[in-house]
Structure 1
Amino acid sequence: MEATKMAIEAYCVKCKTKKEMQNPVESTTKNGKPITKGTCPDCGTTICRIGAIKK
Structure 2
Amino acid sequence: MAVEAYCMKCKEKKVMKDPVASTTKNGKPITKGTCPVCGSTICRIGKTK
TM-score, length basis structure 2: 0.96
More helix per residue: 1
More strand per residue: 2
Residue ranges of structure 2 left out of the alignment (5+ in a row): none
Aligned-pair identity (%): 78
TM-score, length basis structure 1: 0.86
Where do 4+ consecutive residues of structure 1 move more than 2 Å? Answer: none
State which structure, 1 or 2, has the greater radius of gyration over its C-alpha atoms. 1
2:23 corresponds to: 28
Report the aligned-residue RMSD: 0.5
In the comparison of the two structures, how many residue pairs are matched?
49
Residue ranges of structure 1 left out of the alignment (5+ in a row): 1-5
